[in-house]
Amino acid sequence: MKDNVSIDLVPPTDACDVQEAVRFLLPEFEWTSGLAMNQGVCLSGKDTQGVKIQVWAEQAPITAIVSYYSAWPREGDRELRKLASISELQRRLGASFQLARVVM
């Protein structure tokens, strides 16, 4: 499996505060935000295991890129940990967003 996973999200309403929702749903990540040329607001997060997420909040659909490149050693149960992490992210993000597409 690749080290980057793309998840497309559709907010429940146009008035949804994407940054607030993502920070609430994934509190274990340390979040920063900023503006990216031509792509609008980007929310970047990293957890203690090295999993990184970038959320492009102004795209339609919203794109979340999850990187496992720096997470966990390259041997052992790494692939199973990635699958479990992706499943958990889908469950938690799916609580507030419609999951439009997941590309692994």
pLDDT, one tens digit per residue, over 53-64 is 999 988 888 999
Which residues share a beta bridge with 34? 42
Tell the burial category of 5 from Cβ atoms under 10 Å away from its Cβ (0-12, 13-18, 19+).
Answer: buried
Let me know: does 94 contact 41? Beta carbons within 8 Å: no
Number of domain units in the chain: 1
Instruction: Domain of residue 16: give its range.
Output: 4-103
pLDDT of residue 72: 84
pLDDT of residue 86: 93
pLDDT, one tens digit per residue, over 64-73 is 999 999 898 8
Structure tokens at 71: 């997470």
> 72: domain CATH number?
3.30.160
